[in-house]
Structure 1
Amino acid sequence: MERHEMEIFLTLAEELHFGRTAERLRVSSAMVSQTVKKVERRIGAQLFERTSRKVVLTPLGQRLRADMRPHYDGLNEAISRATEAARGIHGVLRVGFLGVQSGLTAHRAADMFQARHPNCAVEFTEIQVSDYVTPLRTGALDMLVTLLPLDEPDISVGPLVVEGATFVAVPTSSPLAARTELCMDDLAGYAFPSLSDRVPASWADRLLPRSTPNGGVIHRTGQQCSTYQEMLALVVAGKAVVLGDAQVTRYYQRPEVTHVPIHDAPTLNHALMWSSASENARMRAYADAVRELKATCASEL
């Protein structure tokens, strides 16, 4: 079956209307009808039942649609990749980052990327925890570097960008600040900041758990926070403690805040991610640059 025949069949299988199919594909209704009849003659059976009121797939048509769809999608993807390769990588890649260290690594990777693809610019935007992955879904950003874990079926997670130990920010006046190391159970009875309603609760609770390993309760503040700076303000006020990765000890120091390592907390890692449906050659090339940067300069990042 030729590609245009596959396209007409699959579109009609979705629309179940000859006129809408023709309008969507910008061809005549007669062409849609003739193509379907041609395919049916070749197969030797009807793929659609037509009446004056409706069009429905026959059982054979349903099976053909299920078998054909992945092959058609794969063919289109292969053609798209070949077209991109022929044209070269160009245009603008919009990258978001959460945290200073993530931004520095993203910029260094962009230098490598642009040395190889000078016709493609990279634009950067700082994001906040409250943004979650929404900029990818709205198309505001092509890629972003944000915190793991992330379990969203429509989002592809690429290479790690920042890896490191977990620290807790506490008021310098707190007894916890005098310790050289803490465990999660030491946080029982304290409060983590509440995150913005825009952040899914499942993700927020994994980043800032509500209980310790031995069942101690970690409370939530009444005030919601959208940024790490807002969280640190609550810490300074003595109303909360907050977890952070290793970069907080370097880029988010305040005289009123002490960062203490937590030996039994999972590492807080940042990874590059993008919308699976929007993946293109620019994104793949940039992800390759991040991987290479991490492999060659891991000790500096």
Structure 2
Amino acid sequence: MERHEIEAFLTLAEELHFRRTADRLGLAQGRVSQIIKKLERRIGAPLFDRTSRRVALTPIGRQLRDGLLPAHRQIQSAIGQARTAARGFAGPIRVGFSASWSGEAVIAAADLFQARHPDAEVHIREVQLNDPLGPLRADEIDLQLTEFPIREPDITAGPVVFSEPRGLMVPARHPLAGRPSVSVEDLADTTLIPMTGEAIPQYWLDAVYPRRTPAGRPIQHGPGATYWQEAVTLVASGKGVSPASLRAAHYYSHPGVAMVPFHDAPPIEYGLLWPTARETARVRAFAELTLRTARTRKED
């Protein structure tokens, strides 16, 4: 039996009405009659009893329906699942990043994602640290690669993609600028320039811009910066110091700023985030590729 014959037979077996069957299949009523007659000739027996008032299955018709229906439903389910999976990777996926080196990892993953899913479109944008979760919650992006820690009930914190050594941006003429490394305890003798923004989680600020050293000494906070470049400018102007990834020195160089590595601070971890309620196969696949490409780049 051909597929159109199976569909015509099972639809008529359900509707028991030629016009309604034709409407459901998008065929002419005469075409439905032709398909059923051809099928009956192939079977060698009537499948329906037809009168001017009613259509009913014959015993052989009921036997054929009962035999075909489970397999047909299984086939339809498999086709539906395949279509759903295909839709999950077609169309745009919007990805954010908060640092240039995070953007490089996202772009590498995007190239691989589009190679595997030619119908997919990847849109990439920068997310400012003064509102690190705003675009996710506003449904402007689907996932992002950003600095951890993030602990939010509506946001899934995925795997750590990579980590970077932590350094301290200091004015070029600052006493710490000439050292080979600094300690977290040295922050007690400085003024920190933190990022500012009402949308920044307080626990994130506490982790990046602490108020006390591990020994309990207070750390003074100075003027805040709304954007990263502002922090660089404030440091260069002698307004304070600011912790950052050591890699920042290669992306945001300034003649008035020196980057000194910490020898006792934990690295900065960069991980993937996405809204828990909007997790899809597409988001999971992109997250997996981002993690894989980042590890490959590190090994290379």
TM-score, structure 1 as length reference:
0.69
Alpha-carbon distance change, 172 to 89 in structure 1, aligned in 2, over 3 angstroms = same
Shift of 1:159: 3.0
Q: Retained in 1: the 8 A contact 2:169–2:243?
A: yes
Alpha-carbon distance change, 149 to 81 in structure 1, aligned in 2, over 3 angstroms = farther
Residue 216 of structure 1 is matched in structure 2 by 217
Partner Cα separation in structure 1 for residue 197 and residue 131 of structure 2: 9
Alpha-carbon distance change, 162 to 81 in structure 1, aligned in 2, over 3 angstroms = farther
Q: CA RMSD in A?
A: 1.9
Q: What SS is found at the alignment partner of 1:225?
A: coil
Q: Retained in 2: the 8 A contact 1:84–1:281?
A: no
Residue 295 of structure 2 is matched in structure 1 by 295
Partner Cα separation in structure 1 for residue 280 and residue 169 of structure 2: 39
Q: What SS is found at the alignment partner of 1:129?
A: coil
Alpha-carbon distance change, 274 to 88 in structure 1, aligned in 2, over 3 angstroms = closer
Q: What SS is found at the alignment partner of 1:130?
A: coil
**Which amino acid in 1 is paired with 2:109?**
A
Partner Cα separation in structure 2 for residue 81 and residue 198 of structure 1: 39
1:132 and 2:132 are equivalent in the alignment: yes
**Which amino acid in 1 is paired with 2:252?**
Y
Deviates most, 240-249 or 173-182: 240-249
Q: Retained in 2: the 8 A contact 1:90–1:120?
A: yes
Q: What SS is found at the alignment partner of 1:209?
A: coil
Residue 93 of structure 1 is matched in structure 2 by 93
Residue 206 of structure 1 is matched in structure 2 by 207
Structure 1 unaligned residues grouped into runs of 5+: 1-79
Shift of 1:297: 2.2
Alpha-carbon distance change, 107 to 272 in structure 1, aligned in 2, over 3 angstroms = same
Residue 11 of structure 2 is matched in structure 1 by none
Alpha-carbon distance change, 264 to 85 in structure 1, aligned in 2, over 3 angstroms = same
Residue 49 of structure 1 is matched in structure 2 by none
Deviations 1:154-205 (A, max 9, x none): 1112233331110000001000001001100111131212422221222211
Q: Retained in 1: the 8 A contact 2:92–2:120?
A: yes
Partner Cα separation in structure 2 for residue 140 and residue 294 of structure 1: 24
Shift of 1:237: 1.2
Q: Retained in 2: the 8 A contact 1:169–1:242?
A: yes
Partner Cα separation in structure 1 for residue 124 and residue 114 of structure 2: 14
Q: Retained in 1: the 8 A contact 2:193–2:224?
A: yes
Partner Cα separation in structure 2 for residue 246 and residue 84 of structure 1: 44
Residue 241 of structure 1 is matched in structure 2 by 241
1:197 and 2:198 are equivalent in the alignment: yes
Q: Retained in 2: the 8 A contact 1:100–1:247?
A: no
Residue 43 of structure 2 is matched in structure 1 by none
Q: What is the aligned-residue identity percentage?
A: 38
Structure 2 unaligned residues grouped into runs of 5+: 1-79
Residue 167 of structure 2 is matched in structure 1 by 167
Deviations 1:201-237 (A, max 9, x none): 222111111111111211111x332211111111011
Partner Cα separation in structure 1 for residue 191 and residue 83 of structure 2: 53
Consecutive aligned runs of 4 or more in structure 1 exceeding 6 Å deviation: none
**Which amino acid in 2 is paired with 1:98?**
S
**Which amino acid in 2 is paired with 1:148?**
F
Alpha-carbon distance change, 83 to 177 in structure 1, aligned in 2, over 3 angstroms = same
Q: Retained in 2: the 8 A contact 1:102–1:161?
A: no
Shift of 1:269: 1.3
Q: Retained in 1: the 8 A contact 2:182–2:260?
A: yes
Partner Cα separation in structure 1 for residue 133 and residue 254 of structure 2: 29
1:1-301 correspondence runs (5 A) = 84-87=84-87, 89-194=89-194, 195-221=196-222, 223-300=223-300
Partner Cα separation in structure 2 for residue 111 and residue 180 of structure 1: 39
Q: What SS is found at the alignment partner of 2:290?
A: helix
Partner Cα separation in structure 1 for residue 189 and residue 295 of structure 2: 41
Partner Cα separation in structure 1 for residue 291 and residue 225 of structure 2: 32
Shift of 1:88: 5.2
Q: Highest CA radius of gyration, 1 or 2?
A: 2
Partner Cα separation in structure 2 for residue 228 and residue 277 of structure 1: 30
Q: Retained in 2: the 8 A contact 1:163–1:267?
A: yes
Alpha-carbon distance change, 190 to 233 in structure 1, aligned in 2, over 3 angstroms = same
Partner Cα separation in structure 2 for residue 262 and residue 91 of structure 1: 44
Deviations 1:244-291 (A, max 9, x none): 113212212211100000111111111111001001122111112112
Q: What SS is found at the alignment partner of 1:146?
A: strand
